[in-house]
Structure 1
Amino acid sequence: MTTIGWIGLGAMGGPMAQCVAAAGYPVSAYDVSLERARSLAGGDLTAVDSIRAAATGATVLVLMVATPDQVEAVLFGEGGAAGELEPGAVVVVMATVGPGPVESWARRLGELGVGLVDAPVSGGVARAAKGDLLVMVSGSAEDLAATRPIIDAMASTAPVVGPVPGDGQKVKVVNQLLCGVHIAVAGEALALADSMGLDVEATWEVLKAGAAGSFMFGDRGGRMVAGAFDDVRSALDIFVKDMGIVTTTAKSVDQPTPLAAVAEQLYLTGRRKGLGRKDDSIVYGILRGR
Structure 2
Amino acid sequence: MSIISVIGLGSMGMGAAKSAVSAGLTTYGFDLNPKALLAFQEHGGIASDTLLNATQKANIVLLMLVNSDQCDQVLFGENGIAATLQKNTVVILGSTTSASYAKTLNEKLQSIDLRMIDAPVSGGAIKANTGDLSIMASGPKDAFSDCQPLFDAISAKLYRVSDTVGGGASVKMINQLLAGVHIAAAAEAMALGLRAGLDPEMVYEIISNSAGSSWMFQNRVPNILAGDYTPKSMVDIFVKDLGIVLDAGKEFKFPLPISASAHQQFLFASAAGYGKEDDSAVIKVYPGITLPAAK
| Range class of TM-score, shorter chain | over 0.9
User: Counterpart in 1 of 2:14?
Assistant: 14
Any conservation in 2 of the 1:236–1:275 contact (CA below 8 Å)? yes
Other structure's SS at 2:6 match: strand
Mapped pair 1:115 → 2:102: no
Any conservation in 1 of the 2:131–2:155 contact (CA below 8 Å)? yes
Any conservation in 2 of the 1:247–1:261 contact (CA below 8 Å)? yes
Alignment of 1:30-179 (within 5 A): 30-42=30-42, 44-179=44-179
CA–CA separation in structure 2 for the residues paired with 1:160 and 1:56 = 28
CA deviations 1:61-101 (Å, max 9, x no partner) are: 11001010000011111111111112111000101011111
**Corresponding residue pairs, total:** 289
User: Counterpart in 2 of 1:192?
Assistant: 192
TM-score when normalising by structure 1: 0.96
Mapped pair 1:210 → 2:222: no
User: Counterpart in 2 of 1:276?
Assistant: 275
Q: Say what the alpha-carbon RMSD is for the aligned residues.
A: 1.3
Relative to structure 2, which stretch is displaced further, 36-45 or 231-240?
36-45
CA deviations 1:22-80 (Å, max 9, x no partner) are: 11111121111234213311465111111122221211011001010000011111111
Other structure's SS at 2:273 match: coil
CA apart distance, 1:234: 1.4
What runs of 5+ residues in structure 1 fail to find an aligned partner? none
Mapped pair 1:264 → 2:263: yes
Mapped pair 1:286 → 2:285: yes
Other structure's SS at 1:165 match: coil
CA apart distance, 1:253: 1.2
Any conservation in 2 of the 1:161–1:167 contact (CA below 8 Å)? yes
User: Counterpart in 2 of 1:242?
Assistant: 241
CA–CA separation in structure 2 for the residues paired with 1:289 and 1:167 = 43
Letter of the aligned partner of 2:154 in structure 1? Answer: M
CA apart distance, 1:222: 2.1
Mapped pair 1:252 → 2:244: no
Distance 1:278 1:163, change over 3 A: same
CA–CA separation in structure 1 for the residues paired with 2:119 and 2:266 = 25
Q: Which runs of 4+ in 1 moved over 3 A?
A: none
Distance 1:210 1:96, change over 3 A: same
Any conservation in 1 of the 2:18–2:43 contact (CA below 8 Å)? no
Any conservation in 2 of the 1:99–1:167 contact (CA below 8 Å)? yes
CA deviations 1:98-118 (Å, max 9, x no partner) are: 111111110011111110011
CA–CA separation in structure 2 for the residues paired with 1:122 and 1:26 = 24
Distance 1:289 1:240, change over 3 A: farther
Other structure's SS at 2:82 match: coil
Any conservation in 2 of the 1:26–1:44 contact (CA below 8 Å)? no
TM-score when normalising by structure 2: 0.94
Any conservation in 1 of the 2:184–2:265 contact (CA below 8 Å)? yes
CA apart distance, 1:289: 5.4
